[in-house]
Structure formats: C-alpha cells, structure tokens
Structure 1
Amino acid sequence: MHNLQSVFRATAGWCISLGTKIISVTPLATVTIQLASFTAQILLLLTFFLPLKILILLGSDSIPDYFPLYLKNIEKTHLIAGLSALTFLCYILYISSELIIFHLSKVGAEKLTNKSKKLNLFSNQKKISVQIYSKFNRGLSAGSFSLIALSILLYIYPLFFLAITIYLLLITLLTIKLFNISQSIRNLLTTHYTVALNTLAAIGFLIVFFFMVLNFLYYDPPKVFAALISLLLVRQALSRLTLMIQDVISLRTQHRQVNALFFYRQQFSTELNLPTNKIRNLLDESTRNIWLRDAINSFSPHHQVVKSSSWHQLGNPEIYAFEVTTHSTEPALESRFLVKLFSENISIAADQEAALMLAKPAIPSLKFFGHTEVEGLKCHIFVLDDFKKIERHTAQANALLTNKKLVSINPPEALVLKFGRSHLYLEQRLRLELFEQVRIIALPEQLYTIEKIIEKHSYIIELLSTLPRQIICLDLGPDTLLISENKDIRVSHWANWKMEPVGANWPITHLNELKNAVTEARTIRADFKEITSAAFKVCALAYTFERLCSRANYADAIALLPDLLEQLESNETSTLIRVDLP
C-alpha cells in the first residue's frame, strides 16, 4: 500500500511529463485553448454576476451607493439595458469560446496521435484521444483559473485569502492523515472521490462565508462590492480546483492509454488482473487460516479450529476458493468446508449465488453454510463433506447428468418471479430481427427454411412462453463438478445461474437424452404432462441458436434451423393429434 504523499508525487511527476509532451507538440493549440478556457470562465463568472446586479437595480429606487461612481452617473434604465445587453454578449462569447475549445481539442489530439506514429491501439481511438486531450486542457485551465482567482483575492481581500488558504492546507493534511491510517477512509475516497471533493469544496465555501459574516459584524470589513466579488471568486476557485483534481484522477486511471497514445516509446499494455494488496494479504497462509476460522465459526454451533486449507480451482481469476479442514473438540469432529472469497469487482456474482442459495431450491449444490464479509469482501461457505473434483475425462457425462437433474427440479415460484422482473427470458430475447439478420447472409438453399421459421416466429415465442421454467447453471465443468464416495454429483459454483424454459442450455448433440430426461421428470413435475418432448427440443435448439447469434457465429446458427423446423412441425402434429383424440 502506498501512502497518499507518494501517490501525489508520482501523479505530479507524470502530469508534468504529460504536460511537457503536449505543449511541445501542440504549443499553439494548447495556449489558445488555455486562453479560450480562461476567457470562458471569466465570461461564465460574469453571467452569474451581471444578472444579480440587474435584479438589485430592478428592486431599488435608485442606483445603490456601493456601485462604482462611473456607473452611478448613468441613468438607471439605461444602466439596466446596458447590463442586460452585456449579459447577452457574455453568453454569446462564452458559447463561442467553448466551440473554439472543442475544435482545437480535435486538432491538437490528432496532431499528438500522428506525432507518435503508431498503429490503432483500440477502438474509438480518435474519440478517446480527443477526450484525453480535452480533459488535460480543462484541468490545466481550471487549475490556472483557481490560482489567478486566489491571487486576485489576495489583492482585494487578504483576510479572506488567508482563511481559504488555511482551510485548504488543513483539509489536505487531514485527508493525507486519514487516508494513510484508515482502510475504510481509503476505500471511501478511492471509490467516491467525486462526492468527497464536491463535499469538501462546499464545506470550504460555507466556512469562509461564515468567516466573512463574522468579519462584517465584528471587524473592519472591505467594501460590499469587493466582498461580493471575493465570494464569487472563492466559489469559482473551489469549483475549478475540484474539477482539476477530478480530471487529474481520471487521467491517471487512464495512464496506460495516455502513455500509449501520446508517448513515442510507450507501448499499450493491459493491466494484469492481479489480486489487490488487501486480497494478497488475506490469501497469505499466515493470515488465511485466521479469517477462514472466524468466518466458519460465525455460523458453526461448535468452535472450529482450522487444520489445513488448500486452493480450490474455480477458473475465475477474481474468486478465491479454499478447501478447509477443521476439527472441534466438543464434540470431537472433523469437518470439511469450501470457502469462497469474491473480489470487489465481481460482488454481483456473490449476490447472484447468495440469492439462489437463500431461495433453497432442491438443486444439486453443496449444502450452503452461510455468507458473510471478510474485510468488506463477500465470502460464501459451503459444507464440502467427502466431495472432491471429478476426473476431467468424465466432465461431459457428469454435466449431462446434472442438466438431467435440473430438468426435474421445479424452481420456487418466488424465485421465478424475481428473476422475471430482473432478466429477459429466452422468448423475450429471441426477436424476429435475429432470423432476419441470418437471412441476409444465408445461402440460397437455406432461405426456404429461414422463411418458414420466420413465418412460425410468433408460434415459437408462444410455445416457449408456455413451457415450465427450470434453473440452469452456465458453469458446469471439471472445476465446478464434484463427486462423493457414493457417486453423488454436486456443483460447487452457482454464481452464473439463470432461469429459462425447460430444455434451455441442453447440449443439442444429446437431444435424445433430453427426451429421456423429460420422460423421467413427468413423474415428478405435474406441469410437464401436457407438453410434448418436441416442445422441449424446440427450446434447446432455439436457446443454442440465440447464443450462437449473440457470438456472431451465424453459420452454425443457420445450420440448426432445419432441426428447429422439424421439431416445430413435430410438436404441431403431436398437438393436433392430442386435440383430435376423443
């Protein structure tokens, strides 16, 4: 973990290098943008200030005494008209300045990328380079404006300048101190820095405003006009200072893209998906067994002591799983658990798995022991018992067996409704546009089948919507399938589950096994009895077709359509026969 001072130094050095590069390559564009930005900010300040003065004049019988003498000599009506015209002119000039900034940002960014003489590094490169160049110039102009505004403040209201300077110094020192000693503060500032900066700026303005009030009540104050100008300057200076810091943080988070785009000898490198320092500390064996023990004991009725813990591969770089062996003395018992720790980036996956486990469907899962948090990271605990990973060569057969079990399980109605309110079902995703899209690239001999499918599209959607629902698991493989001593198969990971019509996610090379699975499930699920086996096969084929289209694998998707049409016609025939039977 780096302290905030070292982060400041590294960021300042990088910004100086970036600024030197940008100014050396695009001096004219950069200087013009800075002048236009400064002009725009002055004009924006005037557009706030002038309407206020106009309102004061409209509400008074004469020109107030604190107005400058050269303005008091003008007739009130003429002064109001003149200030209104000036306000309109300021708005026009402000918009013109912004257009100049926009145009020169495109020119400067293009010149920088051309200067680096590199291939296109990523999509939308031109747009990204313009955004980066604009962000740099905006931050630079915001910082320059803040410095100039505070310099003017020092001249017209020194005591006010002293107050705001002391506040900025104190809040900077306090932020550094809290960031370095408190993990929660560090997480808060890292995650919500925009809110934190805006809040600190608002607090600073409030403090100096009350300071001004006290100054006018108990000390020797400046003229009201100077105080009003000072208040506006402080407001704008704090706002621009906040904007500058936000832009610097934003640029720093994109430093790999920035370096690759604008620096001649810097190549583009993606960030390695490595654990954070906090996670590395938690994974270290010296600390791992401590939090594993505490997490398990938060749910165990008997105190558990960790004997050993070993890595359990799940195939996800941001989920850290361990097989943990524990023992308790009263009663003397040895237990095995599977403990999963989720990184902050995929906490949604933890929520997804927890939602399923807490609904308690009769799925082939390990017994869910509980979920907790370890230093802000979500942690799930399962009872492992004597389960171990399957042999890799048996993965396909055991995945098919698991899918067969899932077909027979009637999911809880509350879970079905909750999923339907959150996600689209297959019949909602299988839009007519998918079939029209593959028709464009189909061979002439394939068009007849596609046309027939398009004609039956509404029938397909109606059929899928009437099918019973089932839970499917998209993470069935040698890393997640477990087997016990008595050959019971369980799935160790359920973060990637969905609710679909029965038949979805069934491998289409094993459609006969789907028919057998449905036949067995009819004795368990009453909602299967009036549905043909062909209807479930339609679902399996339609689901695979939709997934292939989403991956732009149109050739394989089109190859499925004859089988889909055959099963549709088979289902229609079977349905008609049932209707005609007495």
Structure 2
Amino acid sequence: MMFTVLRSLRWLLSLGKKIVRVAFGPTLLIVFLTLVSQVAALLAAFLPLKVVILLGSEGIPSYLPPDLAALGRDSLIGLLCLGTLGVFLLHLLAERVIGVATVSGAGRLLQRSHKMALFENQDDQARDAYLRFSRIVAAAVFVSLSLLLLTSFYPAMAVVQLVYLALVALVFIGVAHFHTGLEQRLANAPVKLTALLNFLSGLGFFVVFGFLVVDFLLFSHPSVMLGIVALLLGRQVLQKASIIVADTSVLFRQRAKLDALFFHGKVLMPVMTDEQNSLWSLMKPERRVEWVKPLLQAYTGYTDGPFICSWQETTVFNATSLQVKAGDDFYLFKLFAVNRNAAAIHESTLMLESLSELPALRLLGVTNVGALQCLIYEHPAKVGIEIQKPIPIVAELNARLMAIRPSESLQMLYRRSHPMLWQRLDLQVLANLEMAVDSSDDQDLFAQLLAAHPRIISTLQELPLYIHVPDIRGADLYWHPDGKAYFLNWTRWALEPLGAGWLVLEYWFNELAAVFERAKAASPELSQYPLEQVELAALCFALDQHCQRRQYRQALALTPQILERLEALESRSAKKKLKLEHG
C-alpha cells in the first residue's frame, strides 16, 4: 500500500514538473483563481447565516465588530445581502476564467509534446487531466492555509482535524495491508471510492462538530464567530482532502495516456487491466494446479492424483480455455476476465437449459475463481479431428440449431432482455436509408420498403425463434472422431426468427434451402413455413446489420430481394385462400 502511495506521489510530482515548466502562467492563474473561487464559495455559504441570525434578533449581536455594529441592523442586513451576491458572482467569474485558462494550458502542453493523435477525445482528456492537477494543487494549498489559519486562532480544532486525517490514513493503510484486494477494488471502482471519501468527509465533519460542542460546554468556550468559522473551514478542509485523493486516483488510472500525451520519451502502449493480469496469471502453468484441482474435485468424479492441463485456442476476447485430462476423462475449463463476466453468464444461461439436441459440450458446473467466472465442460475426447472444410460442418450445425425449439421460459427471458429483429427494424431505422437514395429508382424502392414495413414485421413475427450463433470460426468448432461436431463458443448466441443471421452472400444464400430442408427433416413442424419466409428473415437480418453499420447503400440494395420474397409469400397466401374458398 505504502509503495503504491509513494509511486503515485512520485509520478504526480514528475507530471507537475512537466506542467509547471511548459504552462507555468496558466497553472499559477488556475491555482490562484481556484483558491479565490473556494473562498468566495465559503463566504457565499457563511454570509447568509449571518443574515438569518440578524433577522432573528432584535438588535445587533455583541460579538460583531464595533464598526459593523455602528451601521445599524437594517443597513447591516442589506450590506451582507449585497456581499453575498458579490462573492457568489466572484465565484462564477473565477470558474469561468478557470475554464478559459485550462483550455490554454492544456493546448500549450499538447503543442509542446509534438505528438500526433493517439486516441479519441485526447484534447478533452488532456484538459480534464490538467484541470484535475491544478485542482489538486489548489486544494493542497487551501488545506495548508486553512490549517495554519485554524492553528493561529483555534489550535485545538486544527489538532483534531490533523489527528482525524492521520487516523483515517493509518486505518486505510492497515486495512489495505491485510486485505490485499481492497486497494485494487477501490482503484478500479471510482464510484465506490467517491462514496467512501464522501462518507469519511461527512464523518469527519461530525467529529469536528462534536468536538466544537464539547469544547463550548466543558472547556475553553470560544466565541460564536470563531466556532462558525472553524466549523465551515473544517468542512472545507475535509472536502478538499477528499478531492486530492479522488483526483490523484483518476490521474493515476490514466497514467499511460497522460505519459504518452505530455512526455516526449513516452509512447502509448496497451495496458492490461488488473482483471486481465489476474486472468493470465492464473493461466500460467505453475499456477493452474491451485485452482484447477479444487474444481475437478467439486464438479467431476476426480478425487486425487495427477492431471494434465493443455492450452486450447479460443476466439473469445479476454477469455481462456484449458483442456484438462484427469485419468481417462477429459474436461474443458473456460475462464473469463472480470470485464467478460456478462459473456460467461450469457453462455451459461443457454447451457443450463440442458437442450439435448444442442451441439454443445455438456456443462458440468458454473463457478467463480476469485472474481472470475469459470465454466466447466465435459470434453468427449483428447483430440478432435482437424476440420479441413469448415463450411459443410457449419451448415450441418446450423441445420441442427434450426430444428431446436427453445423453451418458452428461455424465449421470455430473452425477449425481456434483448430487442427482437422486428423491433430493431422500426420505421425510424428504415427512414435513414433515404440518405442513400440517389435516383428515382432508389426513391421507388425506398417508398415500397416503407409501405411494406407493417407486412414485413408481421411476417417476421410469425416465424418461430431459433438459436443463432454468429461469426463462427475454425477455433469455435470441435469435430469428434465419431463424426459429431460441436460449437465451443456460445458467448454470443441469440434468439432470432428462423433464418435470421444466415449469410446472404451468393453461395451461402443458395445453401439456405438445403439447410432448411435438413432442419425440416429433423423437425417436421417447420414444414408449415415456406422457404421464402425463412429467406425474408435472413435478408431482413442483413438489412438490420447494414443499418447499424450505416451502410445504407448496401442496405438499400437488399430491398428488391426483400420485396420479391414478400410478394411471393402474399401470392402463396392468396392462392391458398382462394383454393379454400372454392373447396
């Protein structure tokens, strides 16, 4: 803990040297104006209290200076009201000038660093960092001056505040020393850190207030004026101390970017988060046994003895996979970084449905390794057959997925959590296609698509939902020696209308008919849905994808095929209706 604090202070000092050397004038102005703004805000809170006290008294309190008392009660009230307005306006003016000086100082720093654009919003981040640093300096100066001022007229109160701040620091260092995860959790959760600092600041204020009451009743009995000033200063000191800690934490989290922005010899390198470091640390061969063995004992028939862990490739970002051999049995362990917990939960939600027809490994358990989500699967064999031609395998797996009917509970859960295709394709989305209209033919297609929108939505809603797995790659597939194929990555599964998600590129789109026929053979109830309706879902899904990516020209190009399938469906429906009417 102490090492982290010292490292933060050392880096903050080096950043301060750079800022002062390049932008001394704007920095000094910001610090000065921040102090002016804080004092003005303090007076703007203090003077109304005096007005209320005067309004509630018949005369002028005796503790007021004779020069002010000579003005008379009404005149003094008017003067204090004008003073309150004046210091408030001064506070607003100071804040306005601080904003202008911040832009100037941050611009000078970026100009002197001679760096090209490194990341999005870098100018905004530079201004924010520069303002935070200036605010830290101003807060430190304010705290120091306030404590010196308190020492001069109310030393006991200054001692109480110093002891409270020192005690909080020592307690936090002690807790962090024995609870190693606390420091990282607070550093990675700024909202929690802010809440903790606000609580400690509020608690400190009550300590100051309690001491003031006790001192008035039992000990030195200072004047009322000194008590009010000491109470207001004490609250400001505690708030500014919280600002110093919070802003230092924010700057230190942005250290890699700020170093790259402001220092010549620094470049922007990708920084692994603590969660990622934890993930990759656990995957090191020497650390695997400490967490794999307990999970084997908890979720498999393994009791004790040697086991072998082998790395397995995965396409899931910030997730890893291990193939584990224990005796004659094989298992697959999937470990997810903290920022991928949602993906792990999403995958396990489907696996826990226990759909026997699902081309997936059998899930044995879902657990945590520290803060990381872990999924444990039964692996059918040590090594699968290398897939030379994945396209037929993917087609076969998709046919199996089309034949599976998700449970009503899963469908309801998914509908409540994700927008369905017919909801994503609302009129506002389709109206954006007008930006790609360049000719009268385009205008006709656009108008026909908008006119057909209600019928398209109705047609999509009639289709059953199926489990769709997007962006399947070779590393996501496992082919067992007995001929069975499996998907290994279920982090992005979705429920879509039958056919949605199928590629509409020429080869793949032509294959949809054959895949749908195989699905109907496995699930005869699908025979009631025409191929054109399934193809319409595939085209509408592609339309939605193009709209999301702002590829309006490609989206508009799908319109003739969509209208063609819709017309074929309506023609088929009309013929069927006519046939029924004529017996």
SS in structure 1 at match of 2:474: coil
Taking structure 1 as the reference length, the TM-score comes to 0.91
Count matched residues.
573
Name the residue aligned to 1:357: 351
SS in structure 2 at match of 1:485: coil
Name the residue aligned to 2:197: 197
What does 1:61-460 align with in structure 2 at a 5 Å threshold? 61-190=58-187, 191=189, 192-271=192-271, 276-300=276-300, 303=303, 305-327=305-327, 334-362=328-356, 363-386=358-381, 388-389=383-384, 391-441=386-436, 444=439, 448-460=444-456
| Cα distance in 2, alignment partners of residues 161 and 423 from structure 1 | 57
| Cα distance in 2, alignment partners of residues 579 and 560 from structure 1 | 29
| Cα distance in 1, alignment partners of residues 154 and 276 from structure 2 | 48
Name the residue aligned to 1:60: 57
Q: 1:454 to 1:535 in 2, by over 3 A?
A: same
Q: Which amino acid aligns with 1:365?
A: A
Q: Which amino acid aligns with 1:127?
A: D
SS in structure 1 at match of 2:258: helix
| Cα distance in 1, alignment partners of residues 476 and 421 from structure 2 | 25
1:125-175 deviations in Å (ceiling 9; x for gaps): 333322222222222222221222222122121111112212222222222
SS in structure 2 at match of 1:493: coil
1:412-451 deviations in Å (ceiling 9; x for gaps): 1122122112211111222445544444335646554444
Name the residue aligned to 1:16: 13
| Cα distance in 1, alignment partners of residues 31 and 484 from structure 2 | 70
Q: Is the contact between residue 408 and residue 521 of structure 1 (CA under 8 Å) also seen in structure 2?
A: yes
Q: Unaligned regions of 5+ residues in structure 2, if any? A: none
Name the residue aligned to 2:496: 500
Q: Which amino acid aligns with 1:481?
A: L
Q: 1:341 to 1:13 in 2, by over 3 A?
A: same
Q: Is the contact between residue 436 and residue 556 of structure 2 (CA under 8 Å) also seen in structure 1?
A: no
Q: Is the contact between residue 468 and residue 527 of structure 1 (CA under 8 Å) also seen in structure 2?
A: no
Measured after TM superposition, the shift of residue 540 of structure 1 is 0.6
Q: Is the contact between residue 389 and residue 481 of structure 1 (CA under 8 Å) also seen in structure 2?
A: no
Of 474, 477, 482, 1:481 maps to: 477
What does 1:420-569 align with in structure 2 at a 5 Å threshold? 420-441=415-436, 444=439, 448-474=444-470, 476-508=472-504, 509-522=507-520, 528-569=526-567
SS in structure 2 at match of 1:120: coil
Q: Is the contact between residue 538 and residue 567 of structure 1 (CA under 8 Å) also seen in structure 2?
A: yes
SS in structure 2 at match of 1:411: coil
Measured after TM superposition, the shift of residue 536 of structure 1 is 0.9
Q: Which amino acid aligns with 2:529?
A: I
SS in structure 1 at match of 2:58: coil
Q: Is the contact between residue 302 and residue 326 of structure 2 (CA under 8 Å) also seen in structure 1?
A: no
**Mean CA deviation greater in 424-433 or 45-54:** 424-433
Q: Which amino acid aligns with 2:69?
A: K
Q: 1:151 to 1:526 in 2, by over 3 A?
A: farther
Q: 1:16 to 1:105 in 2, by over 3 A?
A: same
Q: 1:222 to 1:544 in 2, by over 3 A?
A: same
1:2-24 deviations in Å (ceiling 9; x for gaps): xx222222222222222222222
Quote the RMSD (CA, aligned, Å).
2.5
1:243-296 deviations in Å (ceiling 9; x for gaps): 122112112222232223223343333335797443344223233123112123
| Cα distance in 2, alignment partners of residues 342 and 536 from structure 1 | 35
Q: Which amino acid aligns with 2:234?
A: V
Q: Is the contact between residue 293 and residue 306 of structure 1 (CA under 8 Å) also seen in structure 2?
A: no
Name the residue aligned to 1:330: none
Q: Is the contact between residue 387 and residue 482 of structure 1 (CA under 8 Å) also seen in structure 2?
A: no
| Cα distance in 1, alignment partners of residues 396 and 112 from structure 2 | 60
Q: Is the contact between residue 276 and residue 318 of structure 2 (CA under 8 Å) also seen in structure 1?
A: no
Measured after TM superposition, the shift of residue 387 of structure 1 is 6.8
Q: Is the contact between residue 325 and residue 336 of structure 1 (CA under 8 Å) also seen in structure 2?
A: yes
Measured after TM superposition, the shift of residue 563 of structure 1 is 2.6
1:165-210 deviations in Å (ceiling 9; x for gaps): 1222222222223223313323432233222222222222223332
Q: Is the contact between residue 480 and residue 493 of structure 1 (CA under 8 Å) also seen in structure 2?
A: yes
Measured after TM superposition, the shift of residue 348 of structure 1 is 1.2
Q: 1:265 to 1:569 in 2, by over 3 A?
A: same
1:208-250 deviations in Å (ceiling 9; x for gaps): 3323333333322322221221111111111111112211211
| Cα distance in 1, alignment partners of residues 383 and 294 from structure 2 | 24
| Cα distance in 1, alignment partners of residues 426 and 258 from structure 2 | 40
Q: Is the contact between residue 389 and residue 482 of structure 1 (CA under 8 Å) also seen in structure 2?
A: yes
1:292-313 deviations in Å (ceiling 9; x for gaps): 1212322346635451111121
| Cα distance in 1, alignment partners of residues 86 and 522 from structure 2 | 79
| Cα distance in 1, alignment partners of residues 337 and 455 from structure 2 | 44
**Mean CA deviation greater in 113-122 or 96-105:** 113-122
Q: Which amino acid aligns with 2:291?
A: W
Q: Is the contact between residue 399 and residue 518 of structure 2 (CA under 8 Å) also seen in structure 1?
A: no
Q: 1:62 to 1:523 in 2, by over 3 A?
A: farther
Q: Unaligned regions of 5+ residues in structure 1, if any? A: 328-333
Q: Is the contact between residue 304 and residue 326 of structure 1 (CA under 8 Å) also seen in structure 2?
A: no
| Cα distance in 2, alignment partners of residues 40 and 339 from structure 1 | 57
SS in structure 1 at match of 2:303: coil
Q: Is the contact between residue 275 and residue 338 of structure 2 (CA under 8 Å) also seen in structure 1?
A: no
Q: Is the contact between residue 387 and residue 484 of structure 1 (CA under 8 Å) also seen in structure 2?
A: no
SS in structure 2 at match of 1:370: strand
| Cα distance in 2, alignment partners of residues 157 and 389 from structure 1 | 79
Taking structure 2 as the reference length, the TM-score comes to 0.91
